Amino acid sequence: MIFTETKIKGAFIIDPELLIDERGFFARSFCKEEFQNHGLETNIVQCNISYNKKKGTLRGMHYQVPPFEEAKIVSCFKGSIYDVIVDLRRESPTYKKWVAAELSEKNFKMVYVPRGCSHGFQTLDDNSIVYYQMTEYFHPECARGLRWDNPSIGIVWPVSQMVISERDKNYQDLKV
């Protein structure tokens, strides 16, 4: 696997190294040792699948607060998504900055979202399927969100026609 750190410390784009032959390819999507060598968490306790019917579906920007902050490994098994990470760590030099990557069934890329960051995505194709590996169990009492169009963050979403839940529409702006 090839780990490329983004401008947000601890957030990575991960490219699998494809071993290609006449049958197709083989690649690792997770290796505890390689993740640990990059200082990433490896205690995966929960995996989730998100099926999204329509292009433009936006899910986010989600995170959990202490004591149940979580890191995530996100990939797209079908279709494609515009995946976004926002740094919410006040002590970080990239506080309130965001990065994005396209994840798809064609490029096999993954993102690693560190604790203290918010995560969301927008589908670029109908019938997209997203797979998450989580380092913490879901705790509804610690679940939070950041509004997808928060003016102090300024995320630029690629699809203007959006499908978004009422909950995600109504998250508050990030307080400075």
Distance of CA 47 to the CA centre of its chain: 13
Contact 133, 40 (CB under 8 A): no
pTM of the model: 0.94
% of residues, the chain, pLDDT over 90: 97
Q: Is the peptide bond before 61 cis (omega within 30 degrees of 0)?
A: yes
Q: Which of 63, 112, 132, 139 is catalytic?
A: 132
**Cβ atoms within 10 Å, residue 9:** 14
Q: With bands split at pLDDT 50, 70 and 90, how would you rate the model's confidence at 175?
A: low
Give the CATH number of domain 43-169.
Answer: 2.60.120.10
Contact 44, 51 (CB under 8 A): no
Residue 119 appears among annotated catalytic residues: no
Domain borders along the chain are 43-169
Per-residue pLDDT reduced to its tens digit, 61-109? 999 999 999 999 999 999 999 999 999 999 999 999 999 999 999 999 9
Per-residue pLDDT reduced to its tens digit, 120-156? 999 999 999 999 999 999 999 999 999 999 999 999 9
Beta bridge partners of 5: 12
Q: Which of 62, 63, 119, 171 is catalytic?
A: 62
Per-residue pLDDT reduced to its tens digit, 37-66? 999 999 999 999 999 999 999 999 999 999
